[in-house]
Amino acid sequence: MNNQNSNRRRDFIKTSALVTGGLILQPWNIPGAYASGTDEIKLAVIGCGGRGTGAVFQAFETGHNIKLVAMADAFRDRIDKSYEPILDKYGADKVDVPEERKFVGFDAYKEAIKLADVVILAAPPGFRPDHFEESVKQGKQIFMEKPVATDAAGIRRVLAAAEEAKKKKLNVVVGLQRHYQDNYRETIKRIHDGQIGDIVGGQVYWNDGGVWVNARQPGQTEMEYQMRNWYYFNWLCGDHITEQHVHNIDVANWVKKGHPVKAYGTGGRQVRRGKDHGEIFDHHSVTFTYDDGTVIFSECRHFPGAANRVDETFQGTNGSVYLSAGNHGILTDRSGKELYNHDRQNNRNPYQVEHDELWAAIVEGEYKFADAENAAHSTMTSIMGRYATYSGKVVTWDEAINSEVDLMPETLAWDAMPRVLPNEDGYYPHAIPGKTKVF
Ligand SMILES: NC(=O)c1ccc[n+]([C@@H]2O[C@H](COP(=O)([O-])OP(=O)(O)OC[C@H]3O[C@@H](n4cnc5c(N)ncnc54)[C@H](O)[C@@H]3O)[C@@H](O)[C@H]2O)c1
């Protein structure tokens, strides 16, 4: 490192300390803080599973001078499984995570965040409010996965931390990657330009065969079992309407430039009824009403063998649109004549674009991304949908976002008890629409 760069590095460390002390003075206002390409940017990953590992690869693939310096996970075996392929591909020069910087357990995130300039937050969504709040408090640049919480209590914390992040000018990119996918960007821009008039209705879907199950193993405490099989417990996952369908619900909010004011729906457990299926539903159908009266129908289901559908359609006063992560973006007028058809050849990988754009901003010392508030609103919309399907009642935005129900366990420890426990036969209670009170 030459003198100029080591001075920059010292300035960076000094100003980071000032940020955490509450002063808004940080290197992200300084154009070219890392522009020389010779100064390393330290990265930590929190949650070293599929997405955490994938996001580290994408960070390295940006080609910037990044060093992975810390990893944190609830489980040591997950760190090992993630570390090995990252080290194999990028080498010890880029992957400098000795034993003392592999942090394990519920509090592991705090130590890892301290060591980094930039953090990847990819634990199950129930922990996102803790991890995001701490990252903002410590003044870090952030990539975090969706969803950003599993209940309204968590959403309120994320919204508060998002405000703080804005004040500190911390870039925050959220893995709602359709916002970084060319067909969505180009097509929704045309919708907002009025090419199909005002949007008056829509349908958004995530229907597929479902996801993994981690069966209970002998010797696991209840806490360890739920953590390993996190998809099936609401405090960790939020149900698949939140964990997965948030992507499509987020597109509806993006197109409508806001969130709905109420939700009404139905749902249940038709095919997923085993002991390892926890408490979540396998299907939800919700109508979301927006403040201008627009109704968007949302459907998600996990039925193996049934027809799959993952996409979004909207109707405007002058035409309609079809969008999908398979790179479609087709606008038609009311006679069915094509107005725009996105060229699928030109699409870049949105998971890579998220990192290309985030890291370019960081390297240039620019403040460009504040995704957390939108992500909190889209996550909250999906949670409102869950409140509607679980209760069978009409749920308004105001009552949903002000709900005091906190799903997180009182204590996070391997021998502590989560709030939802199995009955003597090993089955978990789940919501019964019409009977269940969600708040
Ligand atoms: N944007 C996308 O398309 C996309 C795709 C897949 C997953 N995701 C999201 O990414 C997140 C992670 O999903 P995944 O598929 O990688 O799951 P995963 O189970 O593979 O990884 C999660 C990791 O977090 C760890 N973990 C659990 N509690 C933790 C804690 N308190 N602190 C630190 N680590 C903890 C787990 O042990 C595990 O290693 C989820 O929010 C998921 O919704 C997004």
pLDDT score, position 39: 85
Q: How far is CA 4 from the centre of its chain?
A: 38
Average of per-residue pLDDT across 260-287: 97
Q: How many Å lie between the centroid of ligand 1 and the Cα of residue 75?
A: 12
105-129 pLDDT, tens digit each: 999 999 999 999 999 999 999 999 9
Q: What is the CA radius of gyration of the chain?
A: 22
294-323 pLDDT, tens digit each: 999 999 999 999 999 999 999 999 999 999
| Strands 141-144 and 118-121, sheet pairing | parallel
CA-nearest residue, atom 39 of ligand 1: 49
53-98 pLDDT, tens digit each: 999 999 999 999 999 999 999 999 999 999 999 999 999 999 999 9
Structural domains of the chain ordered from first start:
41-178 (3.40.50.720), 179-344+371-402 (3.30.360.10)
Tell me, using a 6 A CB cutoff, whether residue 194 lines ligand 1.
no
pTM of this prediction exceeds 0.85: yes
Q: Which atom of ligand 1 is nearest to the CA of 244?
A: 43
Tell me, using a 6 A CB cutoff, whether residue 146 lines ligand 1.
yes
Tell me, using a 6 A CB cutoff, whether residue 50 lines ligand 1.
yes
Is residue 113 within 8 Å of 138, Cβ to Cβ?
yes
Q: How many Å lie between the centroid of ligand 1 and the Cα of residue 122?
A: 5
pLDDT score, position 346: 73
Tell me, using a 6 A CB cutoff, whether residue 151 lines ligand 1.
no
Is residue 173 within 8 Å of 367, Cβ to Cβ?
no
pLDDT score, position 68: 98
DSSP string, 90-157: H-TTTB---GGGEEESTTHHHHHHHT-SEEEE-S-GGGHHHHHHHHHHTT-EEEEPSP--SSHHHHHH
Tell me, using a 6 A CB cutoff, whether residue 125 lines ligand 1.
yes
Close Cβ partners of 349 (under 8 Å, ≥ 6 residues apart): none
E strand spans, 7-107: 41-46, 66-73, 102-104
321: tokens are 């649109």
Tell me, using a 6 A CB cutoff, whether residue 122 lines ligand 1.
yes
196-226 pLDDT, tens digit each: 999 999 999 999 999 999 999 999 999 999 9
CA-nearest residue, atom 31 of ligand 1: 106
Tell me, using a 6 A CB cutoff, whether residue 72 lines ligand 1.
yes
Please determine, for residue 15, whether its predicted confidence score (pLDDT) is greater than 80: no
Average pLDDT, rounded, for the chain: 92
pLDDT score, position 38: 55
